[in-house]
Structure 1
Amino acid sequence: MTREKKILRLNTRAFDEAWHLQYAYTHLKENWSPAPWKKELMYFIIDWLSDTETITVQTSGSTGTPKKIRVDKKAMKASARMTLDFFDLKPGDKILLCLPVRYIAAKMMVVRAFTGQLDLYCIEPKLYPYSEWTPELHFAAMTPAQAEKLLETEEGTAFLNRIEKLLLGGSGLSLLLEEKLQTLQTKVWHSYGMTETLTHVALRKVNGPDKTTGFQPLPGVSLSQTPNGCLQITAPHIGVFDLETHDVVEFLPDGSFRMLGRTDNVINSGGVKLFPEQIEQKLSTRIQKPFYIGKQPDRLLGERPVLFIESEPWPENSILQLKKQMQEILKKIEIPDNIVFKTKFERTASGKIIR
């Protein structure tokens, strides 16, 4: 059987498998020390081009405790092809890698480049992923935090507008960020997915006249709900069958779904289930600092919401103003019983706040 020839276009030039392996091995020699993010990329290229049929990846925790699993390269290619088809990406199209390669989202960008013979531009994965040397791009994937940081500056906003299609994933979008994204020429989607599904299996258009409320499953993906309302995913082409998540969802009439929250975070207050994610969405336009809704025991109701803000303690008049705003936009049972200020939140390696 003839072995498939694997081509990756890197910064406008096409190279075959042998070149990439030589390039990776050369740059990993002991007498040369590439930046850590480049080293991760080189190791993944060697892993991807090896004869093994599987790759080890770290799960995100969407279906349980984070752990390392082996995934099939054929499934990764099938997932890549699904993305290439949806976003109409063709050989030679320019795409941006600005995510850490240790995570599945970045690995899949490299796999998409190999599978679709795309021109991959790689820049350091940081919170402000600005680049002045990249050309206009057909496609890029970022975290919401990266997009938010870029939108804070004129040069960052101009950079985003040089990207034709942008995929945001890894966490939810605040109402404030969604409002800012409406000003971009760039077409923006928000993704739903996880390591076990090799990134996204459903997408929501965020801006433009065709923006949507719910996540629409991609072709070949079937969705259902478990008895406790959690999303269940089947996608045979990527080897996923009846995968139970911890995400509680609401299905909409058109077959799309809306995220309500995670079972891990639910606050049971007087028999009413409160989803912190929904309360956070309502507060996202009123609190500029990083924050989250946690919970504390309550003698009468069992549990009550608590608001944690990453900041030095606010002056009393600012706290009173926020409490007044919360009374205006939240249901009585959703109003946090307490406001706690913390100088710095604990975060995961990917930047997510540890509640």
Structure 2
Amino acid sequence: MTPEYNKVHNRFKLNNHHYNFNDLMEVAYSFVKEGEPFERALGNFLLDWLDNNDFLITQTSGSTGSPKKLKIKKQHMVNSAIMTGDFFGLEPGNTVLSCLPSNFIAGKMMIIRAIILGMELDLIRPSAFPLIDYEKKYDFCAMTPMQLKNFLKYSDNLKIIIVGGSKVPQSLIDDMQHVKANVYETFGMTETITHIAVKKLNNFKDGDISNAHFKVLPDIKISQDKRGCLVIDAPKLSDDIIVTNDIIKLHDDRSFEWMGRYDNVINSGGVKLHPERIESKLRSRIEEQFFIASEDDDTLGSRLILVLESDANTLDESVFEGLGKYEVPKKIYTLNKFILTKSGKIHRKKTLALL
């Protein structure tokens, strides 16, 4: 029997305290009135979750366009929590760590998973370096790539880590091959109520990660449209079929490889280039923030450029060794500061406008 959104599991704990529905409402008011900023965000979300409406209004991150508000059914959020619980084998009484802000869907869903599945949730202040009780072990945690990079040497405290919000750098994947925690990259968006697929990043039995692809959660069907973009049929998460701008390589009806964004594809002299694929090759070689884009060219139509967050171009040509012939940027631009979305991702369009 599927739990309903207006129920609180009797095993649920928040910061070591049991709360039923009414108690949780009081805690939410207390957070809003007296809490720190991250606690006020949690309190406001809980008040929305516990009200009489069967839906929530939430906002997209704005990383691929203007931020927009979405109306999401609470029962769909419950269904998402159950899918994640089934995939990872989460059970009542498991310990969960959340170090993500409650303003966005990833942070909200960490709370809902604990409420619905009856887990013990420790919610701490979101920061680049999460400060936790290093004596305590956790069964499940969600982090951004930056948080995971800073926390990796303490990861023995964690059993399962899901990481998302931006692409996981190859250098970080290399570093996590020697940690005990099982780490999974997630794929999803606000419209799909966080992830609809996960990709294992370490602890492979045969040591080979080359065949690691995103695998979809239960009750989700995937396909491609004429552009080669991902189409998601997830009736438990959305009343509508979701057509994305994410170009994928479909391996079978349950797994795929992400290639890049359709709206970011660069046609340079007839050759189609995926900026995200090039960036993944360069992340371990460039310390500063950067991204690949294009500018008009009389001969090629569009030519590849690299935009670097730096006071000066300090890149050596050797960083481009290993790239394909057409993947090497024709020019490098520098900016003192990139424009970021509210969720901390690079806003490519607005940053390019600065040039």
TM-score by structure 2 length? Answer: 0.90
Aligned to 2:121: 120
1:70 aligns with 2:63: no
CA distance in 2, matches of 1:71, 1:207: 33
- Measured in 1, the distance between the counterparts of 2:286 and 2:313 equals 12
Q: What is the percent sequence identity of the aligned residues?
A: 39
Residue of 175, 179, 193 corresponding to 1:184: 179
**Kept in 1: contact 2:61–2:341 (CA 8 A):** no
Q: Does 1:217 align with 2:216?
A: yes
CA RMSD of aligned residues (A): 2.0
* C-alpha separation in 2, matches of 1:178 and 1:133: 23
Tell me the distance in 1 between the aligned counterparts of 2:332 and 2:287. 15
1:60-209 to structure 2, matched below 5 A, reads: 60=61, 65-132=66-133, 135-151=136-152, 157-158=153-154, 160-209=155-204
Instruction: Summarize the Cα distance change of 1:232–1:60 in structure 2 as closer, same or farther, 3 Å threshold.
Output: farther
1:22 counterpart SS class: helix
**CA offset at residue 262 of structure 1?**
0.3
SS at match of 1:164: strand
Q: Is the 8 A contact 1:121 1:134 kept in 2?
A: no
Structure 1 residue 123: Cα displacement: 0.4
1:145-186 deviation digits (Å, cap 9, x = unpaired): 2112324xxxxx12x220100001111111111101112111
Q: Take 2:247 and 2:313, find their aligned partners in 1: how far apart are those partners? A: 34
Alignment-derived partner of residue 19 in structure 2: 15
Deviation at residue 246 of structure 1 after TM alignment: 0.8
Matches within 5 A, 1:247-326: 247-253=246-252, 255-315=254-314, 319=315, 322-326=316-320
Q: CA deviation at 1:323?
A: 1.4
The offset of 1:248, in angstroms, is 0.5
Q: Does 2:346 match 1:353?
A: yes
The CA deviation string for residues 238-271 of structure 1, in whole angstroms up to 9 with x for no partner, is 2253210010011125741111110121111011
Aligned to 1:246: 245
Secondary structure at the counterpart of residue 241 of structure 2? strand
How far apart in 2 are the matches of 1:338 and 1:233?
37
The 3 A distance-change label for structure 1 pair 196 and 63 is: farther
Letter in 1 for 2:318: K
Further displaced range: 186-195 or 4-13: 4-13
Question: Is contact 2:60–2:190 with CA below 8 Å preserved after alignment?
Answer: yes
Structure 2: runs of 5+ lacking an equivalent: 349-355
DSSP 3-state at the match of 1:141: strand
From 5, 8, 29, the equivalent of 1:6 is 8
**Is 116-125 or 235-244 further displaced after alignment?**
235-244
